[in-house]
Structure 1
Protein backbone atom coordinates (compact mmCIF):
# COMPACT_ATOMS: atom_id res chain seq x y z
CA UNK A 1 0.00 0.00 0.00
CA UNK A 2 1.37 3.39 -0.97
CA UNK A 3 1.41 6.57 1.05
CA UNK A 4 -0.88 9.20 -0.48
CA UNK A 5 -0.47 12.88 0.33
CA UNK A 6 -4.22 13.59 0.50
CA UNK A 7 -4.57 10.92 3.21
CA UNK A 8 -1.36 11.79 5.09
CA UNK A 9 -0.34 13.71 8.15
CA UNK A 10 3.31 14.04 9.25
CA UNK A 11 3.60 13.75 13.04
CA UNK A 12 6.89 14.77 14.68
CA UNK A 13 7.18 13.78 18.32
CA UNK A 14 9.24 15.70 20.86
CA UNK A 15 12.19 17.06 18.88
CA UNK A 16 12.94 19.25 21.89
CA UNK A 17 15.98 21.45 22.42
CA UNK A 18 17.05 20.14 25.85
CA UNK A 19 16.51 16.50 24.88
CA UNK A 20 18.29 16.43 21.50
CA UNK A 21 21.90 16.79 22.76
CA UNK A 22 21.67 13.40 24.52
CA UNK A 23 20.02 11.59 21.61
CA UNK A 24 22.28 9.30 19.58
CA UNK A 25 21.87 10.56 16.01
CA UNK A 26 19.61 13.41 17.15
CA UNK A 27 20.97 15.94 14.66
CA UNK A 28 20.55 13.50 11.80
CA UNK A 29 17.00 12.69 12.87
CA UNK A 30 16.11 16.40 12.98
CA UNK A 31 17.75 16.91 9.57
CA UNK A 32 15.68 14.11 7.99
CA UNK A 33 12.49 15.30 9.69
CA UNK A 34 13.12 18.89 8.55
CA UNK A 35 13.78 17.77 4.97
CA UNK A 36 10.53 15.81 4.84
CA UNK A 37 8.72 18.60 6.68
CA UNK A 38 9.70 21.05 3.95
CA UNK A 39 8.35 18.65 1.31
CA UNK A 40 5.15 18.25 3.36
CA UNK A 41 4.70 22.03 3.56
CA UNK A 42 5.18 22.35 -0.20
CA UNK A 43 2.63 19.58 -0.86
CA UNK A 44 0.21 20.89 1.80
CA UNK A 45 0.45 17.76 3.91
CA UNK A 46 -0.35 18.73 7.51
CA UNK A 47 2.60 18.71 9.91
CA UNK A 48 1.93 18.28 13.61
CA UNK A 49 4.52 18.57 16.36
CA UNK A 50 4.31 17.47 19.97
CA UNK A 51 6.25 18.65 22.99
CA UNK A 52 6.51 16.65 26.22
CA UNK A 53 6.55 18.96 29.27
CA UNK A 54 8.25 21.84 27.41
CA UNK A 55 8.92 23.68 30.68
CA UNK A 56 11.40 20.93 31.55
CA UNK A 57 12.60 19.72 28.14
CA UNK A 58 12.47 22.99 26.22
CA UNK A 59 10.52 23.75 23.08
CA UNK A 60 10.89 22.21 19.66
CA UNK A 61 14.27 22.59 17.96
CA UNK A 62 14.42 26.07 16.40
CA UNK A 63 16.18 24.68 13.32
CA UNK A 64 13.26 22.32 12.72
CA UNK A 65 10.67 25.06 13.23
CA UNK A 66 12.52 27.34 10.81
CA UNK A 67 12.19 24.73 8.05
CA UNK A 68 8.44 24.42 8.53
CA UNK A 69 7.59 28.07 7.73
CA UNK A 70 4.75 28.20 10.28
CA UNK A 71 3.04 25.35 8.39
CA UNK A 72 2.53 23.22 11.48
CA UNK A 73 0.34 22.69 14.49
CA UNK A 74 1.96 22.36 17.90
CA UNK A 75 0.62 20.18 20.70
CA UNK A 76 1.86 20.08 24.27
CA UNK A 77 1.35 16.85 26.14
CA UNK A 78 1.84 15.20 29.52
CA UNK A 79 1.15 11.60 28.45
CA UNK A 80 4.03 9.86 26.71
CA UNK A 81 1.64 8.74 23.96
CA UNK A 82 -0.07 11.66 22.22
CA UNK A 83 -3.20 9.59 21.57
CA UNK A 84 -3.85 9.60 25.33
CA UNK A 85 -4.44 13.35 25.13
CA UNK A 86 -8.16 13.85 24.46
CA UNK A 87 -7.82 17.12 22.52
CA UNK A 88 -5.09 15.68 20.28
CA UNK A 89 -7.02 12.47 19.57
CA UNK A 90 -10.25 14.33 18.76
CA UNK A 91 -8.51 16.88 16.51
CA UNK A 92 -6.67 14.12 14.64
CA UNK A 93 -9.91 12.25 14.06
CA UNK A 94 -11.51 15.45 12.76
CA UNK A 95 -8.83 15.82 10.05
CA UNK A 96 -10.07 12.72 8.23
CA UNK A 97 -6.43 11.70 7.62
CA UNK A 98 -5.86 7.95 7.74
CA UNK A 99 -2.12 7.65 7.07
CA UNK A 100 0.24 8.93 9.74
CA UNK A 101 3.96 9.30 9.04
CA UNK A 102 5.57 9.24 12.48
CA UNK A 103 9.02 10.23 13.73
CA UNK A 104 10.73 11.79 16.71
CA UNK A 105 12.48 11.19 20.01
CA UNK A 106 12.71 9.17 22.08
CA UNK A 107 11.77 6.38 19.71
CA UNK A 108 11.26 3.78 22.43
CA UNK A 109 9.14 5.99 24.68
CA UNK A 110 6.99 8.80 23.26
CA UNK A 111 7.24 7.85 19.58
CA UNK A 112 6.45 4.19 20.26
CA UNK A 113 3.58 4.89 22.66
CA UNK A 114 2.12 7.42 20.22
CA UNK A 115 2.48 4.90 17.38
CA UNK A 116 0.84 2.09 19.32
CA UNK A 117 -2.04 4.42 20.18
CA UNK A 118 -2.44 5.35 16.52
CA UNK A 119 -2.49 1.68 15.50
CA UNK A 120 -5.06 0.87 18.20
CA UNK A 121 -7.23 3.69 16.83
CA UNK A 122 -7.10 2.20 13.32
CA UNK A 123 -4.65 4.53 11.55
CA UNK A 124 -2.16 3.31 8.95
CA UNK A 125 1.18 4.01 10.57
CA UNK A 126 4.44 4.68 8.71
CA UNK A 127 7.48 4.67 11.02
CA UNK A 128 10.01 7.15 9.63
CA UNK A 129 13.13 5.18 10.52
CA UNK A 130 15.72 7.78 9.55
CA UNK A 131 14.08 10.44 11.73
CA UNK A 132 13.40 8.42 14.89
CA UNK A 133 16.10 8.18 17.55
CA UNK A 134 16.80 7.46 21.20
CA UNK A 135 19.64 8.00 23.66
CA UNK A 136 20.74 4.43 23.06
CA UNK A 137 20.54 3.36 19.39
CA UNK A 138 19.47 -0.20 20.19
CA UNK A 139 16.33 1.12 21.86
CA UNK A 140 15.37 2.95 18.65
CA UNK A 141 15.79 -0.34 16.77
CA UNK A 142 13.64 -2.22 19.27
CA UNK A 143 10.98 0.48 19.09
CA UNK A 144 10.79 0.24 15.29
CA UNK A 145 10.64 -3.56 15.46
CA UNK A 146 7.87 -3.49 18.03
CA UNK A 147 5.88 -0.90 16.06
CA UNK A 148 6.26 -2.94 12.87
CA UNK A 149 5.26 -6.17 14.63
CA UNK A 150 2.14 -4.30 15.75
CA UNK A 151 1.27 -3.20 12.20
CA UNK A 152 3.41 -0.17 11.35
CA UNK A 153 5.46 -0.01 8.16
CA UNK A 154 9.10 1.15 8.34
CA UNK A 155 9.89 3.83 5.73
CA UNK A 156 12.56 6.38 4.85
CA UNK A 157 12.08 10.07 4.16
CA UNK A 158 12.80 9.50 0.45
CA UNK A 159 10.16 6.78 0.22
CA UNK A 160 7.55 9.07 1.71
CA UNK A 161 8.46 12.11 -0.41
CA UNK A 162 8.40 10.25 -3.70
CA UNK A 163 5.16 8.43 -2.88
CA UNK A 164 3.56 11.77 -2.00
CA UNK A 165 4.77 13.20 -5.33
CA UNK A 166 3.70 10.07 -7.24
CA UNK A 167 5.05 11.19 -10.62
CA UNK A 168 7.79 13.31 -12.16
CA UNK A 169 5.92 15.22 -14.87
CA UNK A 170 3.94 17.60 -12.67
CA UNK A 171 4.41 21.20 -11.63
CA UNK A 172 4.60 20.03 -8.00
CA UNK A 173 7.52 17.73 -8.80
CA UNK A 174 9.32 20.54 -10.59
CA UNK A 175 8.73 22.80 -7.61
CA UNK A 176 9.95 20.11 -5.19
CA UNK A 177 12.98 19.13 -7.27
CA UNK A 178 15.46 21.46 -5.53
CA UNK A 179 14.26 20.33 -2.11
CA UNK A 180 14.59 16.68 -3.16
CA UNK A 181 18.24 17.24 -4.07
CA UNK A 182 19.08 19.18 -0.91
CA UNK A 183 21.79 17.49 1.20
CA UNK A 184 20.67 16.31 4.63
CA UNK A 185 22.52 14.61 7.42
CA UNK A 186 26.28 14.51 7.51
CA UNK A 187 26.43 11.02 8.96
CA UNK A 188 24.95 7.91 7.35
CA UNK A 189 21.68 6.78 8.90
CA UNK A 190 21.91 3.46 10.70
CA UNK A 191 19.04 1.05 10.25
CA UNK A 192 20.79 -1.91 11.95
Structure 2
Protein backbone atom coordinates (compact mmCIF):
# COMPACT_ATOMS: atom_id res chain seq x y z
CA UNK A 1 0.00 0.00 0.00
CA UNK A 2 1.38 3.42 -0.98
CA UNK A 3 2.22 5.68 1.94
CA UNK A 4 1.16 9.35 1.89
CA UNK A 5 3.72 12.00 1.05
CA UNK A 6 4.90 14.39 3.76
CA UNK A 7 3.76 17.45 1.78
CA UNK A 8 0.19 16.67 0.75
CA UNK A 9 -0.26 19.35 -1.90
CA UNK A 10 3.04 20.53 -3.43
CA UNK A 11 3.36 22.70 -6.52
CA UNK A 12 6.33 23.95 -8.53
CA UNK A 13 6.58 27.52 -9.83
CA UNK A 14 9.06 28.25 -12.65
CA UNK A 15 9.55 32.01 -12.71
CA UNK A 16 10.76 33.63 -15.95
CA UNK A 17 13.72 31.35 -16.74
CA UNK A 18 14.09 32.83 -20.23
CA UNK A 19 16.87 32.64 -22.79
CA UNK A 20 17.32 36.40 -23.06
CA UNK A 21 18.48 36.58 -19.43
CA UNK A 22 21.26 34.01 -19.85
CA UNK A 23 24.15 36.52 -20.13
CA UNK A 24 22.86 38.80 -17.38
CA UNK A 25 21.92 36.60 -14.42
CA UNK A 26 24.50 35.57 -11.81
CA UNK A 27 25.20 31.79 -12.13
CA UNK A 28 22.24 31.37 -14.48
CA UNK A 29 23.42 27.93 -15.59
CA UNK A 30 23.03 26.70 -12.01
CA UNK A 31 19.48 28.08 -11.84
CA UNK A 32 18.66 26.23 -15.05
CA UNK A 33 20.16 22.92 -13.87
CA UNK A 34 18.24 23.11 -10.58
CA UNK A 35 15.02 23.87 -12.47
CA UNK A 36 15.66 20.88 -14.75
CA UNK A 37 16.08 18.59 -11.74
CA UNK A 38 12.93 19.69 -9.93
CA UNK A 39 10.94 19.51 -13.17
CA UNK A 40 12.03 15.90 -13.64
CA UNK A 41 11.19 15.10 -10.03
CA UNK A 42 7.82 16.80 -10.38
CA UNK A 43 6.93 14.44 -13.22
CA UNK A 44 7.74 11.44 -11.02
CA UNK A 45 5.93 12.81 -7.98
CA UNK A 46 2.98 14.13 -10.04
CA UNK A 47 3.51 17.68 -8.78
CA UNK A 48 1.68 20.34 -10.80
CA UNK A 49 3.88 22.89 -12.56
CA UNK A 50 3.11 26.58 -13.11
CA UNK A 51 5.47 28.50 -15.39
CA UNK A 52 5.63 32.11 -16.51
CA UNK A 53 7.54 34.28 -18.92
CA UNK A 54 8.13 37.99 -18.48
CA UNK A 55 7.01 39.87 -21.61
CA UNK A 56 7.98 37.06 -24.00
CA UNK A 57 7.45 39.25 -27.06
CA UNK A 58 10.53 41.22 -25.97
CA UNK A 59 12.40 38.77 -23.76
CA UNK A 60 11.77 35.49 -25.54
CA UNK A 61 10.65 32.01 -24.47
CA UNK A 62 11.74 29.84 -21.57
CA UNK A 63 15.20 28.32 -21.92
CA UNK A 64 15.21 25.34 -24.25
CA UNK A 65 16.77 23.04 -21.63
CA UNK A 66 13.61 23.16 -19.53
CA UNK A 67 11.19 20.30 -20.16
CA UNK A 68 7.93 21.96 -19.25
CA UNK A 69 5.25 19.23 -19.28
CA UNK A 70 2.24 19.67 -21.57
CA UNK A 71 0.00 19.61 -18.50
CA UNK A 72 1.77 22.62 -16.95
CA UNK A 73 0.00 25.94 -16.64
CA UNK A 74 1.90 28.59 -18.60
CA UNK A 75 1.31 32.33 -18.76
CA UNK A 76 3.07 35.36 -20.14
CA UNK A 77 2.99 38.49 -18.01
CA UNK A 78 4.16 42.05 -17.61
CA UNK A 79 3.46 42.07 -13.85
CA UNK A 80 6.43 41.14 -11.72
CA UNK A 81 4.50 38.62 -9.59
CA UNK A 82 3.60 35.33 -11.21
CA UNK A 83 0.22 35.60 -9.52
CA UNK A 84 -1.56 37.15 -12.48
CA UNK A 85 -5.34 36.58 -12.70
CA UNK A 86 -5.09 33.55 -15.02
CA UNK A 87 -2.60 31.80 -12.72
CA UNK A 88 -4.62 32.65 -9.61
CA UNK A 89 -7.65 31.13 -11.30
CA UNK A 90 -5.75 28.00 -12.36
CA UNK A 91 -4.36 27.56 -8.86
CA UNK A 92 -7.72 27.91 -7.16
CA UNK A 93 -9.56 25.71 -9.66
CA UNK A 94 -6.95 22.94 -9.50
CA UNK A 95 -7.63 22.29 -5.83
CA UNK A 96 -9.25 24.21 -3.00
CA UNK A 97 -6.62 23.22 -0.44
CA UNK A 98 -3.55 25.35 0.15
CA UNK A 99 -0.37 24.47 -1.69
CA UNK A 100 3.22 23.99 -0.57
CA UNK A 101 4.82 25.94 -3.43
CA UNK A 102 8.48 25.70 -4.40
CA UNK A 103 9.78 28.59 -6.48
CA UNK A 104 12.77 28.60 -8.82
CA UNK A 105 13.69 31.37 -11.22
CA UNK A 106 14.56 35.02 -11.48
CA UNK A 107 15.04 37.63 -10.28
CA UNK A 108 15.19 36.77 -6.58
CA UNK A 109 14.55 40.31 -5.34
CA UNK A 110 11.84 41.17 -7.87
CA UNK A 111 9.61 38.52 -9.46
CA UNK A 112 10.47 35.71 -7.01
CA UNK A 113 9.92 37.98 -4.01
CA UNK A 114 6.64 39.44 -5.24
CA UNK A 115 5.33 35.98 -6.18
CA UNK A 116 6.25 34.59 -2.77
CA UNK A 117 4.61 37.48 -0.94
CA UNK A 118 1.39 37.05 -2.94
CA UNK A 119 1.32 33.31 -2.27
CA UNK A 120 1.91 33.83 1.46
CA UNK A 121 -0.86 36.44 1.56
CA UNK A 122 -3.22 33.83 0.06
CA UNK A 123 -2.32 31.27 2.73
CA UNK A 124 0.02 29.02 0.75
CA UNK A 125 3.28 27.70 2.22
CA UNK A 126 6.23 28.96 0.18
CA UNK A 127 9.60 27.27 -0.28
CA UNK A 128 12.21 29.37 -2.07
CA UNK A 129 14.86 27.01 -3.44
CA UNK A 130 18.10 28.88 -2.82
CA UNK A 131 20.02 26.78 -5.35
CA UNK A 132 17.45 27.66 -7.99
CA UNK A 133 17.02 31.44 -7.75
CA UNK A 134 19.29 34.30 -8.77
CA UNK A 135 19.50 37.94 -9.82
CA UNK A 136 21.62 40.07 -12.12
CA UNK A 137 23.43 41.48 -9.08
CA UNK A 138 24.68 38.71 -6.80
CA UNK A 139 24.28 40.88 -3.70
CA UNK A 140 20.51 41.22 -4.20
CA UNK A 141 19.95 37.51 -3.54
CA UNK A 142 20.93 37.33 0.12
CA UNK A 143 18.98 40.43 1.03
CA UNK A 144 15.87 39.11 -0.75
CA UNK A 145 16.15 35.65 0.82
CA UNK A 146 16.52 37.10 4.32
CA UNK A 147 13.49 39.30 3.73
CA UNK A 148 11.44 36.35 2.47
CA UNK A 149 12.35 34.31 5.55
CA UNK A 150 11.17 37.17 7.74
CA UNK A 151 7.89 37.23 5.79
CA UNK A 152 7.30 33.52 6.45
CA UNK A 153 8.82 31.77 3.42
CA UNK A 154 11.03 28.73 3.92
CA UNK A 155 14.44 29.16 2.28
CA UNK A 156 15.76 25.68 1.52
CA UNK A 157 17.44 23.69 -1.24
CA UNK A 158 15.99 21.69 -4.11
CA UNK A 159 17.11 18.41 -2.57
CA UNK A 160 15.71 19.37 0.84
CA UNK A 161 12.34 20.21 -0.70
CA UNK A 162 12.19 17.00 -2.75
CA UNK A 163 12.88 14.82 0.28
CA UNK A 164 10.31 16.79 2.28
CA UNK A 165 7.77 16.18 -0.47
CA UNK A 166 8.36 12.43 -0.12
CA UNK A 167 8.83 12.13 3.64
CA UNK A 168 9.35 8.36 3.60
CA UNK A 169 11.73 6.05 1.73
CA UNK A 170 8.98 3.43 1.46
CA UNK A 171 6.88 5.43 -1.01
CA UNK A 172 6.65 4.11 -4.55
CA UNK A 173 8.53 7.02 -6.11
CA UNK A 174 11.51 7.04 -3.74
CA UNK A 175 13.80 4.84 -5.84
CA UNK A 176 13.35 7.01 -8.92
CA UNK A 177 13.90 10.26 -7.01
CA UNK A 178 16.97 8.84 -5.24
CA UNK A 179 18.32 7.87 -8.66
CA UNK A 180 17.74 11.40 -9.95
CA UNK A 181 19.51 12.86 -6.92
CA UNK A 182 22.47 10.56 -7.52
CA UNK A 183 22.54 11.35 -11.25
CA UNK A 184 22.54 15.11 -10.63
CA UNK A 185 24.85 15.06 -7.59
CA UNK A 186 27.64 17.03 -9.27
CA UNK A 187 25.34 19.73 -10.68
CA UNK A 188 23.56 20.01 -7.33
CA UNK A 189 26.85 20.41 -5.47
CA UNK A 190 27.97 23.13 -7.87
CA UNK A 191 24.65 24.98 -7.57
CA UNK A 192 24.68 24.81 -3.77
CA UNK A 193 28.29 26.02 -3.64
CA UNK A 194 27.54 28.90 -6.00
CA UNK A 195 24.12 30.00 -4.79
CA UNK A 196 23.61 28.98 -1.16
CA UNK A 197 25.92 31.49 0.51
CA UNK A 198 23.25 33.47 2.34
What's the TM-score, normalizing by structure 2? Answer: 0.87
SS in 1 for 2:23: helix
CA RMSD for the aligned pairs?
1.7
2:81–2:118 Cα contact (<8 Å) kept: yes
SS in 1 for 2:117: helix
Structure 1 segments unaligned to the other structure (5+ residues): none
1 CA distance for matches of 2:130 and 2:88?
A: 23
1:26–1:133 Cα contact (<8 Å) kept: yes
Residue equivalent to 1:111: 112
Please state how far the C-alpha of 1:71 moved relative to its aligned partner.
4.8
Q: What is the aligned length?
A: 187
SS in 1 for 2:62: coil
Please state how far the C-alpha of 1:165 moved relative to its aligned partner.
2.0
Residue equivalent to 2:45: 43
2 CA distance for matches of 1:154 and 1:77?
A: 25
1 CA distance for matches of 2:139 and 2:183?
A: 29
Residue equivalent to 1:92: 91
2 CA distance for matches of 1:190 and 1:44?
A: 27
1:5–1:43 Cα contact (<8 Å) kept: no
Runs (4+) of structure 1 exceeding 6 A deviation are: none
2 CA distance for matches of 1:178 and 1:7?
A: 23
Residue equivalent to 2:78: 78
2 CA distance for matches of 1:5 and 1:20?
A: 32
1:106–1:135 Cα contact (<8 Å) kept: yes
Please state how far the C-alpha of 1:69 moved relative to its aligned partner.
4.5
1 CA distance for matches of 2:16 and 2:46?
A: 22
Structure 2 segments unaligned to the other structure (5+ residues): none
Please state how far the C-alpha of 1:163 moved relative to its aligned partner.
1.4
2:7–2:167 Cα contact (<8 Å) kept: no
2:134–2:195 Cα contact (<8 Å) kept: no
1:32-181 counterparts in 2 under 5 A?
32-65=34-67, 68-83=68-83, 85-96=84-95, 97-181=98-182
Per-residue displacement from partner, 1:51-98 (whole Å, max 9, x unpaired)?
010011110011012xx4535221111111122x21111211222242
2 CA distance for matches of 1:47 and 1:23?
A: 23
